[in-house]
Structure 1
Amino acid sequence: MTVTTDLVADFVRAANRLPQVSAQERQRLLERGLTVSGAMRGLLLETGKLAPFDEALERVVDDIARNIIEMSDETVSKALLALAGQIRTLRILNREPPANRTPNGANAI
């Protein structure tokens, strides 16, 4: 498995056993997910690919991480699964070749 696949698996495992995961570990996982998501989005931009950006998700997950003590298990679990999905999507997009573009910026047929 790749590092990214391992990370996604860690998020899913943590979401499924959340009562056993400490608040500090929950916060660390969420912050790590935000960092990885941002880095993968940056890599997409560097390679000339369109990078999806869900500003609302990023903002909500950041808020959850900062206020982890007050958050319900369900809220944290949903945030972990949302990050796992986003990172998985970004990994897939990073593996795809960039679209063929003509000099005027249009897609080649």
Structure 2
Amino acid sequence: MKYVPSRSPCPIGRASRVLGDRWVLLILREAFLGVDRFDGFLGRLDISRATLTARLGSMVEAGVLERVPPRAKYARYRLTDAGRALQPVVEAMRDWGDAWLPRPA
């Protein structure tokens, strides 16, 4: 999944190009909890290796995460300033889900 910037004049439309995928939001959740390695994300999410690779790459291209060091086999994924700025958005989604969506039995 290659990141292609949106040309939408609407900021919500542009943001949805980055954040409109459920895996991206779940990867962000884990990054906010301190996960920073590929295997860490893989172990905490029910996601395939290929999907995780694609989403992490897209998030790096979008400037939400950085890969440190960039070409290392066992790199860490760190939130950029843009990624850290998403924390209140993800927390608001969590709060909304708690308030309005039923919990599984």
Same fold per TM (> 0.5)?
no
TM-score for the superposition, normalised by structure 2: 0.34
Kindly indicate which of the two structures has a greater share of residues assigned to strand: 2
Q: Which has the larger radius of gyration?
A: 1
RCO comparison, higher one (Cα < 8 Å, 6+): 1
Could you state the TM-score of these two structures normalised by the residue count of structure 1? 0.33
Higher helix proportion (structure 1 or 2): 1
